[in-house]
Amino acid sequence: MSTTGATADPLAALGALPGVAESVESVRKAVDRVYGHRVMRRRSNAVTSEAALRGARGSAALSGADWALEEVRRRSDFGVDDEARVVGAALRLTAEAGQLLSIWRQSPLRVLARLHLVAAATGGDEVGRPRQAGERVDEPLVELPLPGADEVAGRLEGLAQLVIAGSQAPALVTAAVVHGELLALRPFTTSNGLVARAAERIVLIGSGLDPKAICPAEVGHAELGRAAYLAALDGYVSGTPEGMAAWIAHCGRAVELGVRESTAVCEALQRGAA
């Protein structure tokens, strides 16, 4: 996304694109409904915990580790193979996101570096910093052309400036742009998809749209499927108004599906079945 132009608030300009207001309103209504569920008045912590687990499972699935929820729930060793490491990384990121909310608006690049460090869980020199010229990126599920290191640095700085400056744009728009920009840039050598979805989670929670973290967009992204996810991302990368609006709408639908998942959790808790 270009951060230059006539408008001082490019995120708000995206909120005015055709169809985006409808997506924003639909998400707002869905979130309000689940927050109004009677279970949320007394067992919101249980819903939050379950949403975190299911969100991590969804994010891992989009990064190639599509495990059953109960497998994620029962496992304790996440270092035995590549898929297990992906699931472990997704779980760690979901837990870490809540600890970084207060830092995000002041230092988003610091948060992104921390997210990559948590996801990678290794001590390599490339961990926790944007990739440098000549470094390879291991992100096989996103096959878009890879921006060069200089472009990555410039666009990350632009994204950080947008976050720090604040915006009148709805939370959904900001979250979608953060998510899409990180996927388009793939600024780290590994784990970019996991980091991008964790950053989207931070925006949705920190904005006040989902303060209790019970609307896991990652669940919706996984349910909509990898093909639809990548097709919507193509729209974001195109930079056209239609493409941008389609990506924001896709992210909105993902949040709504996350709401549906947590509503089912609320119903199960109400019945005493979870």
Nearest CA to 215 out of 27, 22, 21 is that of: 27
pLDDT digits (tens, 9 = 90+) for 24-35: 999 999 999 999
Convert the pLDDT of each residue in 107-132 to its tens digit: 999 999 999 999 998 878 999 999 99
């609320």: which residue's tokens? 266
CA 128/CA 132 separation, integer angstroms: 12
Residue 88 has pLDDT above 70, yes or no: yes
Whole-number percent of the chain with pLDDT over 90: 90
Average pLDDT, rounded, for the chain: 94
